[in-house]
Structure 1
């Protein structure tokens, strides 16, 4: 039986063969899915919007780990990056940067948090975040310096309300600790086999396949 979906991007819709980018095998199944599909990601707002447009999905997105929600023509921004910018200034005072080089396209359009490259030492990053009342979330793609009160699960609550659906109607698929809150809100959750320990522990089910193959496995099961 099909159900509304809430899907992460990195590690969940991506290729598992070492090549960058979305696995093209997911395009047609998602475009033809008969229920709403929500893209929920730690990426900045333009990225899931563009993905939805190119796949041919209605633009229903949760971006920046819940900091920005957009669905049914309504957008809400529930955080700002001022505190994260202050934390990053402290990080630079200690001799570190965000590790992206210039131009920093990872953070250029980011509104509610700041992301650091996984090459940045984790301990000083967590120390400066804590000093400013923030948390660091490791998504497997980046370290996200963010408000601890904002999460993807809250974004799912907001999107479900806009769609007139119960959040428990959704099936969630993800791979990282930032998907744990989504798993807690959705009625059923799947961690793809490459997921981190937090996601594996929180999910109702774990797929046999990794990355997009795991997501396609879930779609087949729901059919």
Structure 2
């Protein structure tokens, strides 16, 4: 039996450097963590599944801010949220003269199953207004505006994962940096925000690291950052 807790970790802003690239020092830490590791992100499913594959860890994933939950060892693949409503919001936003802000080949949304993401350089107020008309909300992760169902969250996803693993959600250590990590922080027994986190995550965390980005993650889990 180990005293090391299961780990729920965000990707962007937490495992990355200040330029958005995965910090290579985090990879062996994830691979060698002696308890279950859950990757919880706002990205669509292929990104965290690919990360788990190339790190060499079991595919335990919360994607799309809780809209998708996947666990390889239990053959679990669950979808929550209203993708049709999110697509309707995107269509109405474009019809109103705005843009989702991505390239013509939109890899950000191409594989999304439960939500739509809009670039942060696009107007937020009309997006929020249109989303509300469709019963949805907009979450700013610091990397995109995510149009999603209000009852979907990473925290709910972590509860599903914990149930599948037979682990109490409060056993988890959660590390993140954004508003979309607050629900994870509320569910986990210990919540750590890296120093670059937004105000919502900082306020919800049990503790805040001195270091930013991946350095903050390594500090949070007590790893040597050299």
TM-score scaled by length of structure 1: 0.96
Q: Hey, what does 1:206 align to over in structure 2?
A: 208
Q: d(CA) in 2 for partners of 1:86 and 1:219?
A: 41
Q: Hey, what does 1:193 align to over in structure 2?
A: 195
**1:79 positional shift:** 2.2
Query: Could you say which structure has the greater relative contact order, defined with CA pairs below 8 angstroms and 6 or more residues apart?
Result: 1
The partner residue of 1:140 within 128, 139, 142 is 142
Q: Hey, what does 2:69 align to over in structure 1?
A: 69
Q: d(CA) in 2 for partners of 1:178 and 1:165?
A: 22
Q: Hey, what does 1:176 align to over in structure 2?
A: 178
Q: Hey, what does 1:150 align to over in structure 2?
A: 152
Q: d(CA) in 1 for partners of 2:135 and 2:80?
A: 16
Q: Deviations over 1:152-205 (max 9, x none)?
A: 000000000111100000000000000000000000000000000000000000
TM-score scaled by length of structure 2: 0.95
**1:80 positional shift:** 3.2
Q: Hey, what does 1:83 align to over in structure 2?
A: 85
Q: d(CA) in 2 for partners of 1:79 and 1:133?
A: 11
Q: Hey, what does 1:47 align to over in structure 2?
A: 47
Identify unmatched segments of 5+ residues in structure 2: none
Q: Hey, what does 1:218 align to over in structure 2?
A: 220
Equivalent pair of 2:98/2:122 in contact (CA under 8 Å): yes
Q: Hey, what does 1:115 align to over in structure 2?
A: 117
Q: d(CA) in 2 for partners of 1:4 and 1:132?
A: 37
What is the SS of the residue equivalent to 2:38? strand
Q: Deviations over 1:123-170 (max 9, x none)?
A: 111111111111000001100000001000000000001111000000
The partner residue of 1:161 within 160, 163, 172 is 163
Identify unmatched segments of 5+ residues in structure 1: none
Q: d(CA) in 2 for partners of 1:188 and 1:9?
A: 18
Tell me the C-alpha RMSD between the 2 structures: 1.2
Q: d(CA) in 2 for partners of 1:157 and 1:204?
A: 19
What is the SS of the residue equivalent to 1:24? coil
Q: d(CA) in 2 for partners of 1:87 and 1:75?
A: 25
